């Protein structure tokens, strides 16, 4: 066990590799695409933050913030896992070690994604942004992206149900 700990301490690259790439696309506040060596593109979902969806209040603001911070720049990232859509979840660093997720939360452009993060300091940054009404926290009715997505899914299910009910009534009357 001690040997494994020493290996992790002195050779962290064996377990967590840091990669660099140029940011060539911003999909939304928490999803970017980087161009790697060999012209390979990689889509990255930012770790520990969830930004408003496109179409949700402050969604465009979050996208613009992310773009202003990293678009066209070379970033370093550490992939932490794959999400259920196959995207790489990554911690993205830029400009002398700034952590992009931290900057988004501090600027009030995203929620600390506490379900997928153990970094309580991000929660403190969110509380500060809320208290100071920074970014999306100006909206007293701000809805987290996960609640927004859940409501959209439920609305979609309701519409499908209503549509199938209407089709059944049409068949019954024919």
CA distances from 14 to 4, 34, 80, 99 (A): 11, 22, 13, 22
Phi-psi region of 133 (alpha: psi -120 to 50; beta: other; left: phi over 0): left
Is residue 53 part of the annotated active site? The answer reads yes
Q: Do the beta carbons of residue 107 and residue 61 sit within 8 Å?
A: no
Of the listed 40, 48, 79, 87, which one is catalytic?
Answer: 87
Of the listed 45, 48, 102, 103, which one is catalytic?
Answer: 45
Is residue 45 part of the annotated active site? The answer reads yes
Q: Do the beta carbons of residue 136 and residue 52 sit within 8 Å?
A: yes
**111-112 and 74-82 as β-strands: parallel, antiparallel, unpaired?**
unpaired
Q: What is the largest CA-CA distance in the chain?
A: 77
Residue carrying the six token digits 């992206």: 145
Is residue 87 part of the annotated active site? The answer reads yes
Find the length of the chain.
Answer: 174
Look at residues 67, 79, 78 and name the one whose alpha carbon lies nearest to residue 104.
67
Of the listed 40, 48, 53, 79, which one is catalytic?
Answer: 53
Torsion of CA 72, 74, 76, 81, to 10 degrees: 40
Catalytic residues: 45, 53, 87
């Amino acid at each position: 066990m001690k040997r494994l700990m020493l290996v992790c301490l002195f050779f962290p690259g064996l377990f967590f590799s840091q990669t660099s790439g140029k940011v060539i696309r911003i999909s939304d506040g928490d999803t970017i695409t980087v161009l790697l060596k060999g012209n390979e593109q990689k889509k990255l979902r930012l770790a520990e933050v969830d930004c408003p969806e496109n179409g949700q209040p402050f969604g465009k603001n979050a996208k613009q913030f992310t773009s202003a911070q990293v678009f066209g720049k070379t970033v370093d990232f550490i992939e932490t896992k794959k999400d259920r859509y196959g995207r790489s979840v990554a911690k993205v660093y830029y400009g002398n070690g700034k952590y992009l997720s931290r900057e988004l939360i501090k600027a009030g452009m995203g929620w600390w994604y506490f379900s997928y993060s153990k970094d309580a300091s991000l929660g403190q940054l969110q509380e500060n942004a809320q208290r100071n009404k920074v970014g999306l926290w100006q909206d007293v009715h701000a809805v987290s992206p996960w609640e927004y997505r859940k409501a959209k899914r439920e609305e979609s299910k309701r519409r499908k149900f209503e549509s199938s009910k209407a089709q059944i009534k049409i068949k019954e009357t024919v």
